[in-house]
Amino acid sequence: MKLKSTRNTLLVLGLSAASSANAGYTFELSEEDKLTFGGFIAADARYIDGNASSSLVNDDFWIGHAIKDDISSLRMHVNSSRINTKYEHGDITGFIEFDLFGGGGNEKLTNSRHPRLRHAFIRKGNWTVGQTWSTFVNTGALAEAVDFAGPLVASGFIRQTQIRYTNGNFQFALENPESYGGYEGATGYGAKDVLPDVIAKYTVSGDWGSVAFAGVVKQLTTTMDESKSAIGYGISGKIKVGAKDDFRFQLHGGNTGRYVGAAAATDLVGEEVEESTAIMVAYRHFWNDTYRSNVFYGNHTTAESDRDRSHWGVNLFKSINKNLTYGFEFGNFEMAEADADSNYIQVNAKYSL
């Protein structure tokens, strides 16, 4: 058995961000069989002050939804740490990954946390089956941030079980349906949805970067058990600027619902299909080989629920070596419709395998 250290990204194709920025250690078991272990250990310290509080327990990071509540708190955790394993046999690949956002434990004694499944899929040839990033998502267009993935409020961001076909730059998938905000109990258990979500994406790429065009068609179930059609679209990309810098953007519109904004919008509001517009922009600049910074902004507005939510931030990363990175970020999350916002400061240390 031969052990080989590799700095290549664990995933390929459109699944690369399942472990983006992670490398791993590969065991070559035979000419056809390989086993790779990867992931990272991360520690975060986060201070929030204002009257918008993340809906997550202990305010670990911002999503697209928050509650109006006076808050001034410090939170330290290692929940974003993750571990993954890739299995390869010829042209068959299996991948599984966990992080520590699964809940459980407390801060009184041991701070124990439950593992949470992120990815579990099988890929053979052009086909991918299992749970991973939705085909609608372009992970390459996510902002680099200390606060997890930056302005999730305006980013395509969802993982779910699917059957995906890839042919060159084109991808087509049937994915798990969920009428979020519709009938009572629409949480993936006892669901009344009978048709899968249909997603198509085409990516154009070159030396200049890449741009992806995506669409989703859904059949939603309302609280009155009525079926309603929904169509959403997305245009996203990463454009290279100079030798190292890059500009990232995402524009989503129509009935994207749960696919965009990490709970910033629902699929349904009562009996009506929600319509959203979300825009995210981010610029990454390398000061030198050691320091780099990102500035990002995201905004998400909805028609039926009349939401207007934004998240901006600016950060500085220092690469100690190829494995260890320190980060500092200052930013703000706002719910304009509720006249609520909070500033935050977050520092992070991450050691990648």
Q: pTM of the predicted model, to two decimals? A: 0.90
Nearest to 348 by CA among 328, 331, 330, 332: 328
Q: Measure the CA–CA gap between 309 and 265, rounded to whole angstroms.
A: 10
Lowest mean pLDDT among 22-26, 219-223, 297-301: 22-26
Lowest mean pLDDT among 58-72, 191-205, 232-246, 258-272: 58-72
Q: For 19, list phi and psi in degrees, rounded to 5.
A: -145, 50
What pLDDT is stored for residue 270 in this prediction? 87
At a CB cut-off of 8 Å and minimum separation 6, what does 74 contact?
A: 45, 46, 47
Lowest mean pLDDT among 51-60, 164-173, 311-320: 51-60
What pLDDT is stored for residue 192 in this prediction? 83
Residue 15 clears pLDDT 70, i.e. is over it: no
* pLDDT, tens only, 295-342: 999 999 999 999 999 999 999 999 999 999 999 999 999 999 999 999
- Which string of b and e fits 257-293 if b means at least 16 CB within 10 Å? bbbbbbbbbbbbbeeebbbbbbbbbbbbebeeeeebb
**What number of other Cβ atoms are within 10 A of residue 133's Cβ?**
25
Q: Measure the CA–CA gap between 19 and 1, rounded to whole angstroms.
A: 25
The fraction of the chain above a pLDDT of 90, given in percent, is 77
Residues 141 and 20 sit within 8 Å (Cβ to Cβ)? no
* pLDDT, tens only, 69-105: 999 999 899 999 999 999 999 999 999 999 998 877 7
Q: Measure the CA–CA gap between 269 and 236, rounded to whole angstroms.
A: 26
- For the chain, list the domains and their CATH numbers: 43-77+120-352 (2.40.160.10)
Quick one: three-class SS letters along 229-286?
A: EEEEEEEEEEEEECCCEEEEEEEEEECCHHHECCCCCCCEECCEECCEEEEEEEEEEE
